[in-house]
Homo-oligomer: A and B are copies of this chain.
Amino acid sequence: MPVTGRELRSTANGDGTLSLALIDVTLDDPAADEVIVRVEAAPINPSDLGLLLGPADIGSLRTGGTAERPEATFAIPPARMASMTSRLGQSLPVGNEGAGTVVAAGEGAQHLQGKRVGMLGGAMYADYRKLKLRDIVVLPDGASAADGASLFVNPLTALGFVETARMEGHKAIIHTAAASNLGQMLQKICLKDGVPLVNIVRSDEQAKMLRAIGATHALNSGDTDFPAQLVDAIVETGATVAFDAIGGGSLGSDIVQAMEQAASRTMTEYSRYGSNTFKQLYIYGALDLSPTTLNRLSFGFQWSVSGWLLTPFMGKAGADVVGRMRQRVLDELTTTFASHYSRVIGLAEALDPDVLRGYERKATGEKYLIDPTRG
């Protein structure tokens, strides 16, 4: 029996606007290796906002539609329309991951009927989602949908950072926007695995919170002596790789510069080409949409600044490593990989102006969970 439900869609239009709407979608019966899941929890991650809102100007929000089928429209700043070309006119579903209950199962999947599962694969901001078996994971007994909603993006990203550092021979890690859910997971992983971590945050409260879960290095980038603190922490830990969620501005550049300053402390002879220490900055987020500024003259020549994204990382790491990572997430679901949500909203509420402005702020410590069963 086909199932009909709502699905949140984002469309960038040729007239320079971006619109959000809920449309009705009907799912046919699942094939042999498929299930239909009633979505009960789906987080709003920063990586979802990129697709949901793109570079839209939130200040220009106009609302329409009805209470049950709300609509929201924004202006896209003209300078950012170039990056929209390849999605213009396409009604795109949103939501990378979620969790819920299997309400229909194909021939080969009858044993999953009624089970609670975690899901990966997009289009999670919806009442129902049809998925292949490879894209779901049965949750441990007793786990709630909220427990299993963020099983993939943050946990695998945090584990991916540590794997990347290992694969490339770095012995310690620097992380920015480190008080995030992802940042807390990374701190817990690093503690378990004995990998030194330098956390960079934007307030003393965030630094205190990280210390409370075991952080040795939690630096406030607002401190006047932050640059010196950072060099000291790098000398102490030997960090030569950084993962940066912010992207814009010069913080990433400041980190590479601090790594070079730390390296040059041990140099016995001047070289105009800088140290022999290879320094890697990975940009994995875009909390700041402004351009990245690299003051590279202070880096020497042994440096690299690169994009980091989970999917190609997993492709490179291979099935064995990814399998090990996924198992660890399940094993430590309610400890290392516990997520905290500051607010649970319904699907229609995601288009409410006040709610929308709330999750768009991407404030650290604030995280929204969509539960479509709330309406």
Out of B54, B300, B312, name the residue touching A302 (CB < 8 Å).
Answer: B312
Q: Which residues of B contact A83 (CB under 8 A)?
A: 297-298
* Complex Cα spacing A51 to B92, Å: 54
Q: Choose from B82, B90, B294, B297 the contact partner of A270 (Cβ within 8 Å).
A: B90
In-complex Cβ contact of A304 among B270, B299, B306 (8 A)? B306
**B301, A291: Cβ atoms under 8 Å?**
no
| A183, B310: Cα distance in complex, Å | 37
Is A86 interfacial (CB-CB < 8 Å)?
Answer: yes
Interface size class of A (residues with CB under 8 A): 35 or more
* Complex interface: chain B residues within 8 A of A289 (CB): 297
Query: In the complex, A183→B294 CA distance in Å?
Result: 25
- Residue in chain B with minimal CB distance to A12: B270
Q: Determine if A55 is an interface residue (Cβ-Cβ < 8 Å).
A: yes
* Complex contacts, A301 vs chain B, CB 8 Å: 284, 307-309, 312
Residue of B nearest to A278 (CB): B312
Does A50 belong to the interface (CB within 8 Å)? yes
- The answer, yes or no, to whether A292 is at the interface (CB within 8 Å) is yes
Is B306's CB under 8 angstroms from A273's CB?
Answer: no
Is A272's CB under 8 angstroms from B54's CB? yes
A293 at the interface (CB under 8 A from B): yes
Are A307 and B297 in contact, with the CB atoms below 8 A?
A: no
- Distance in angstroms between the alpha carbons of A292 and B301 in the assembled complex: 14
Whether the Cβ atoms of B90 and A272 lie closer than 8 Å is no
As for how many copies of this chain the complex holds, the number is: 2
User: How far apart sit A341 and B330, CA to CA, in the bound complex (Å)?
Assistant: 67
CB pair B309 A264 closer than 8 Å: no
Interface assignment of A286: CB less than 8 Å from any CB of chain B: yes
Complex CA–CA separation, A293 to B253 (angstroms): 11
Does A283 make an interface contact (CB < 8 A)?
yes
A307 and B304 in contact (CB under 8 A), knowing A54-B272, A270-B92?
Answer: yes
Interface centre among A86, A289, A291, A297 (most CB of B within 10 A): A297
Contact with B along A255-267 (1 / 0, CB 8 A): 0000000001001
* Chain B residues, Cβ within 8 Å of A292: 293-294, 296
Closest to A253 in B: B291
> Which residues on B sit within 8 Å (CB–CB) of A311?
273
A26-53 vs B: 1/0 string, CB under 8 Å? Answer: 0000000000000000000000001100
Assess whether A118 is interfacial by the CB under 8 Å rule: no
Which residue on chain B has the smallest CB distance to residue A80?
A: B297
Asked if A276 is an interface residue, CB under 8 A from chain B, the answer is: yes
B contact residues around A50 at 8 Å (CB)? 272
Residues of chain A in range 244-282 having any CB-CB distance to chain B below 8 Å: 247, 250, 253, 264, 267, 270, 272-273, 276
Within 8 A of B (CB), among A73-103: 80, 82-83, 85-87, 90, 92
Q: Are A306 and B303 in contact (CB under 8 A)?
A: yes
CB<8 Å pairs between A and B, sample of 11: A50-B272, A51-B272, A80-B297, A276-B312, A286-B296, A291-B293, A291-B294, A292-B294, A293-B293, A301-B308, A304-B304
Closest 7 pairs (CB-CB, A-B): A301-B307, A301-B309, A304-B306, A292-B294, A87-B270, A51-B272, A305-B305
